Structure 1
Amino acid sequence: MKKKRKINVFDTSLRDGEQVPGCKLNTNQKVEIAKKLEDLGVDVIEAGFPISSPGDFKSVQEISKSVSKTIVCALSRAVEKDIEVAGKSLKFAKNPRIHTGIGTSNWHILYKFNSTPEKIIDIAIKSVKLAKRFVEDVEFYAEDAGRTDNYFLAKVCENVIKYGATVINIPDTTGFCLPDEYGRKIRFLKENVNGIHKVSLSTHCHNDLGLATANSLYGIINGAKQVECTINGIGERAGNTSLEEIVMIFKQKKYLNLYTNVNTKLISPISNLVSKHTGMMVPANKAIVGFNAFSHSSGIHQDGIIKKKETYESINPKDVGINNSSIILTARSGRAALNYRYKKMGYNLTKNSLDLVYSIFLKHADKKKEIKNEELKIILKKANLN
């Protein structure tokens, strides 16, 4: 049997996730989330971008003091001052990492930096060499790798490996790639970069086309060892790879032989915590953690769920920290769901009684989005059954 492969989970909710307009976390909130991320079992917490503000510097410092097992990572640009400040912010970290890098696509080289490929490689080398003075664990990001020529990207990777990078991040910064395209990029690097066995390749995918999780999955299948993601998929623009989605894919699709150290039963609680502190509401239809993820309102689905949950649920809600799936009574609900709810409330209806109640129920349900227990009692009274 093929040996299972461990995938490291790099959570950037406190850095990339916080880069959403209106989503500002204070230091205490960041520390609270960081502790929960450690409990969750993530391997790396990207705690912030220390040069960006005194508050972010303090947050990285306090998280470094509060986390004991998980790697604490600080972001920097490939700028001397950035890297020095990142290094200082990690002074108290038991397992520190500096995450530094620069744009490598023609869009970035020509228009953002007004530079040349040769100069970009030189800056990349210098940034890794400087970061190594502060920490042993240095992750290099090739920003906009998704739109970077593969041969030039391979050259950048070879050079930063020579000077001590331990992880190389291949971001699809603009959510540009298709899954097969991104997977082939990772595979190309695995097969064409000298010294690639010395480092871990990391995925960092954005969701502009709704493909962040799929792209990360294909990157991992093709050899990446680390996935960068956020709780609830929060992040720049349309967001990042969703931690809960990628982790549950590994858990459900056992034939992939991939696993993480994440305790999935803690997913729902930390999803709620991040939503509360960031003010970013989780969409009801969000996979895994949305309110509707384990809710059923169609009569056909409800009948199947009542008979056997697996008919319409491939994931056990308890696996992600949700006690039970929900039967939501609407105008689309059938007699089976209505009878099921009444039994839960302590009422056992005969077939004739159920037929009478159901006809009254439908009249109520056509006027409302959902029928709750109190209204079900009123319906019983109308049917002279209470």
Structure 2
Amino acid sequence: MPTSRKLSARLMQLQELFSRNEDWLIVINADPDAMAAAMALKRIMSHRVRKVTIARINEISRPDNLAMIRYLRISMLPLSDCLKNQATRFAMVDSQPHHNPAFEGIPFSIVIDHHPTSPEHPVEAVYTDIRPKYGAVSTLMTEYLRGFGIRPGIRLATALQYGIRTDTATFTRAGTENDLRAYQYLAAHGDTGLLTRITRSEYLPQWLKYFARAFSSMHQCGNWAYCYLGDVESPDILVLIADFFTRVHGLKWVGVCGVYKETVVVIFRGDGHLDLGAFAASRFGSLGNAGGHRALARAEFPLAATEGRSVDVFVFRKLTDRPQKKKEEENRGRGEGTL
């Protein structure tokens, strides 16, 4: 079946969910791709439902994200019990219900994402569209807009462009032909000047000290590196530094670790030769939430899981430990198998 027919069938299914008597709440873990995708879904819902509100579960501190909100005038509220009580239906983009405890208990009717699914956490919603091969949900939502015959305005087109840029690292880290086609289409409707202003707002002066910590703590192990930053004021700092290290010649991947509010966070970035999503899940999945894509992944687990040991050493050993199965095979090859 041609892709256009599949999309049309999806759009018909999606449209059947909309009623002018209902108030929708789009819940996101706010980053550029999530915010842009939520804006697009809100635009699709406009005139089809009574009210649409975008709610975020996280605090926003990255300067480029704040610039995106300011320049593109993104209307978004912190998630609260009051907002949840006022809504009659819920949607989610760029995430899945098991990704964060803040999503627990919310009966999502729509889940649209590009992160891989987990067999242990099947997504249950009336409407789901999860496409791990896409570099950004903004790409998928651009296809939705075109399928509905909606031409994005300047601010929406610019937001979707920026969403694709950030999640694909401007097509150097990930991305497919679909992402490129969507970006080219949006370029004809967006504002290059606004996009430039947003992309140039990346760092706060008080964050520079973390780069010094990263350089001084870095362990380089062949073609990969690990660094530990200690306590950080925002996990976004770990993301910025991990992205920075992807520009270092010879590094295939990097893990950047820090502690935020009694939670250990490890950010992975790479060139895709190692499936970092699967790697993160195998090393840290038993401790908390871990996973992602081939080229970018994340792990989060309670500080208490280290049982008082050095976080730096604990995480580094997790990264360097060989899987037990591989050890057993090597032992058998040396005649050292257990009885």
Q: Indicate whether the TM-score tops 0.5.
A: no
Normalised by the size of structure 1, how large is the TM-score? 0.25
More helix, by proportion? 1
Normalised by the size of structure 2, how large is the TM-score? 0.27
